Structure 1
Amino acid sequence: MPSILLNTPSERLRGAQLDAVRHLLARVLTGNEFYRRKLGALAPASLRTFDDFVQLPFTTKAELIADQLERPPYGTNLSFPLDRYTRFHQTSGTTSGRPLHWLDTSETWDWLTGCWATNFALIGLRPTDRLFFPFSFGPFLGFWTAFEAAARCGFLVMPGGGLSSTARLRFLLDHRCTVLFATPTYALHLAEIASKEGIDLASSAVRALVVAGEPGGNIPGTRQRLEAVWGARVFDHYGMTEIGPVAVEAEGRPGELYLLESDYLAEVVDPQTGRPVPDGDTGELVLTNLGRTGSPLIRYRTGDLIRMAPAPDPTGRTWRRLEGGVLGRADDMIHVRGNNVYPGALESIIRRFADVAEYRIHVDRRNPLADLRLEIEPVAGDGHALAEEVGRAVRDALCFRIDVSAAPPGSLPRFEMKARRVVYQK
């Protein structure tokens, strides 16, 4: 695959990506049943321009799930015989109700860890950093690849599986860890426990939080709260188990995620029509991973809404940036009494209140008009006055009223990995 550097001129960058796509297809179409069915007798050399490439059909999660149901357990999106594969992971299943199973060869695993090595360089990790991963390693891809990539890059890595949250905090302090990898939800949960234990996280050695797996790092209220309680810089990261590590914030550039255009070809389309939208407009991110030949995705509709930064990067880098990170999901919009709202908009308001320990959103779709209710859990007390304050803040920011109630302290669920705070009744 050609080398695509951070400052590669845009025209050369697109040409190099198309070369990589042709290389990918030449390897995939010989053995990958899924894409042979989708693309037929396509000749990779026929993709001479980007316009030729965007005539290829989209790939959707629904297709992949159907394929794995028809040919369990891994489906037909495999380019090589099964004995070539060495790694198994799966998605959380939060958006589809059913997890996707995903296999990687040793070669594609090297590609995935290489993406993280690029992320580390953008974040600005230092040779002396000690990286802590405070969770039990399950089938979720993201932090497995980050952990192995960090070790390969020569960083001291600390696993936190098999420990209670309190023990993880003690471990972090004892080993003077400087970089924490976690979901935003779990980083806040650790801060909540630290407060109860009388631990001042802001005075710890932690200087950076790399958050991934869910929104939060890009939500101003959540980000501010994380940075305040940890006394550390938050770096948001975006990726998916089935696609790989896609984008990350860079040191000195908060609020924008650099798309790893060395490893992905990205498009932004209208979620309804599938037609391209210009930089600066919100649309759905469509990705082609250029190095995951064993289980590739070509023109994959992520369902994630983003906005490409329209202005040139003042640093001189040419890789495109996701302005504000991932803004929401195309299927997450809640229609309430003529108003459209994304869960992230509510979280941004809720996280302004330091006295809110946790929250849950209830969406009742059993009637023609959906009803939205918010449940907050106070750090202490009955929370009734706090619920009224949050309700006023939602009304002032979003211009409509919702019912906000208080749950007893400690009663709402806590999450180590991806949080599930939106509950639907249908």
Structure 2
Amino acid sequence: MRRMAQPHSERYWSDVETWDRERIATLQLTSLQQQLARVGERSTFYRRQWADLGFDPRDIRELSDLRALPTVRKSDYVDSLAEDGPWGSMLAAPLDDVVRVHFSSGTTSAPTPVCWTAPDIRRWTELYARAAYGQGVRRSDVYQVLFGFAWFVGGLGVTTAYSEIGATVIPGGSSETERQIDVMARYGTTAVSGTPSFMLHLAETAERLGRPLTENRVRRIQVGGEPGGAVPQTRAFIERAWGAKVFDGYGSLEFQPIAWECEEQAGGHIAEDFAFAEVVDIETGEPVPDGTPGVLVLTHLDKQATPFVRWWTGDVVVRSTEPCACGRTLARLPGGVRGRGDDMLVIRGVNLFPSAVEAVVRGFPGASGEHQLVIDSSTKDPATGFPTGIKLRAELPSDDPGAADRLARAIRTELTVRCVVEPVPFGTLERSTHKSRRVVHEA
């Protein structure tokens, strides 16, 4: 019988979660020095880039020295794959050592592969287990995976992690909605994970079937893949529908995982022993102080197969190094991902993220919560082409003709932007079992 990994204590999976900041920084510097030396030797991409810059990994004496290197973006990775396909010139491990490959969705470019070695997979598992354990998951739990498994990176990660804790794992995936509901009730599922969109879709379906999820035993919901878990109104919406506590999680194909909330629900704790995190100004790339929004830039500290150095996530966050009430000292991301830099709309000088609109819609009385931000010519200045407001398509009660105007006023009050609301009947907008498409472009 396989022996389960043992947590550090009843409350913490790993002792690194409570190290003081100086000790964390020391670990990061030592790990960074070793990682850069290895990557510079084994990755063709970085070896060439650093040679052109005159950079030597031995030049790293302090964590701030890393800023001598440029950020690496998705376009750079795509180019590296085209240059040395199919695995790319960033690969830093022999292909014989690669045991897992996951792919991007291919929504912004051709699907891109990211590779893992066996030690990478063990590390991934340990980090996910740490997150789940910090949310209160234990061996006695029955855990149902509601993330997708087809190509998507999240499903297998959480499956192995909850198994590591010793929970009873049901890998359900993100389809067959009614069957998922039946399995939860029949087998006493106590914890689930999936995208916020699928959690809402399941709750809506269960209500329609006369089987409200509040009657189930689920008490912990881990969400990720979308910003909804960090939007207070969306979190509250899900918690009411399920009668369970929602924990926001943040990861990406390139970095799994990045940050996950503990039971305090006060912002995800960054896996700082796995990734060195910088928060920089979206325009200048210069570091911003804690508490100031900026783009998250990440560097792997021990990834072997496909390591990234100064990876531009494009995600706008706020970092805090204040200790959490849970006792963990790892830096946190209060409010989770505030938005993506490339999703940000500028409306007459106001920076607007789709997640801010979602917060207003989810909190609007009578609305289903389903909505779309529509990008078309109706809210653009005909002379300049610049947006002068936003157009929102939202499911509102058909027997309340004034709802659209009230929602438009609420958005104007909360977000200080003009809004044209197009009301549609409940059930009009497509429900997603994976990631909802909130921003749509129309002619």
- Give the shorter-chain TM-score range: over 0.9
Which residues of 2 match residues 309-348 of structure 1 at below 5 A?
309=320, 311-348=322-359
Q: Is the 8 A contact 2:146 2:155 kept in 1?
A: no
- Please tell me whether the aligned partners of residues 127 and 154 of structure 1 are also in contact (alpha carbons under 8 angstroms): yes
Runs of 5+ unmatched residues, structure 1: none
Aligned ranges 1:12-31 → 2 under 5 Å: 12-31=23-42
Contact 2:214–2:241 (Cα < 8 Å) also in 1: yes
Determine helix, strand or coil for the equivalent of 2:258: strand
Give the equivalent residue in structure 1 for 2:202. Answer: 190
**Paired position in structure 2 for 1:415:** 432
**Please, which of 422, 426, 430 is the counterpart of residue 405 of structure 1?**
422
Query: Residue 372 of structure 1: CA displacement?
Result: 2.3
Matches within 5 A, 1:229-378: 229-251=241-263, 253-309=264-320, 311-353=322-364, 354-364=366-376, 368-370=385-387, 372-378=390-396
Structure 1 segment 112-123 matched on structure 2, within 5 A: 112-123=124-135
- Asked whether 1:34 is paired with 2:45, we answer yes
Cα distance in 1 for residues equivalent to 2:354 and 2:346: 11
Query: What secondary structure is seen at the aligned counterpart in 2 of 1:140?
Result: coil
Does 1:172 find its partner at 2:184? yes
Q: What is the CA-CA distance between 1:219 and the residue it aligns to?
A: 0.3
Q: Give the 3 Å change call, closer, same or farther, for CA 382–289 of structure 1 in structure 2.
A: farther
Q: 1:123 to 1:195 in 2, by over 3 A?
A: same
How big is each residue's C-alpha offset from its partner over 1:115-141, in whole Å with a ceiling of 9 and x where there is no partner? 112112221212211111135411111
Shift of 1:43: 4.1
Matched, 1:72 2:89: no
Cα shift readout 1:318-372 (whole Å, capped 9, x = no counterpart): 2111111111111211123443311011000000135325211101267512252
Asked if the contact 2:408–2:420 (Cα under 8 Å) also holds between the matched residues in 1, the reply is yes
1:141 maps to what in 2? Answer: 153
TM-score for the superposition, normalised by structure 1: 0.93
Distance change in 2, residues 1:315/1:159 (3 Å):
closer
Q: What letter corresponds to residue 193 of structure 1 in structure 2? A: T
**In the alignment, which residue of structure 2 is the partner of 1:101?**
113
Instruction: Check conservation: 1:383, 1:407, Cα contact below 8 A.
Output: no
| Change beyond 3 A, Cα 1:315–1:170 | closer
**3-state SS of 1:104 partner:** strand
Conserved 8 A contact 1:364-1:372:
no
Equivalence for 1:82: 95
2:142 to 130, 133, 141: 130
The answer to whether structure 1 residue 390 and structure 2 residue 398 are counterparts is: no
How many residue pairs match? The answer is 421
Q: Which amino acid aligns with 2:418?
A: R
Counterpart Cα distance in 2 of 1:387 and 1:93 = 35
Question: Which residue, out of 227, 233, 237, partners 1:221?
Answer: 233
Which one-letter code corresponds to 1:27 in the other structure? Answer: R
Whole-angstrom CA distance in 2 between matches of 1:159 and 1:9: 37
Partner of 1:9 in structure 2? 20
Cα drift, residue 74 of structure 1? 2.7
| Residues 322 and 329, structure 2, Cα contact 8 Å, conserved in 1 | no
Q: Distance between the aligned counterparts of 1:83 and 1:339, measured in 2?
A: 51
Q: Sort the Cα spacing of 1:33 and 1:232 in 2 relative to 1 into closer, same or farther, 3 A.
A: same
For residues 258-281 of structure 1, the C-alpha deviation after alignment (integer angstroms, 9 at most, x for no partner) is 111121111111111111111111
- Picking from 146, 156, 170, the partner of 2:168 is 156
Give the Cα–Cα distance (whole angstroms) in 2 for the partners of residues 104 and 178 of structure 1: 30
| DSSP 3-state at the match of 1:418 | coil
Residue segments in structure 2 that go unaligned for 5+ positions in a row: 1-13
Aligned mates of 1:163, 1:261 — CA distance in 2: 34
Provide Cα deviations, 1:45-69, integer angstroms capped at 9, x if missing partner.
Answer: 3312123222222211121122223
Aligned residue for 2:298, secondary structure, equals: strand
Distance in 1 (alpha carbons) for counterparts of 2:147 and 2:153: 13
Give the whole-Å Cα distance in 2 for the aligned partners of 1:73 and 1:387.
50
- Secondary structure (helix, strand or coil) at the match of 2:42 reads coil
1:315–1:211 Cα change, 3 Å: closer
Q: Secondary structure at the match of 2:428?
A: coil
Shift of residue 310 of structure 1? 5.4
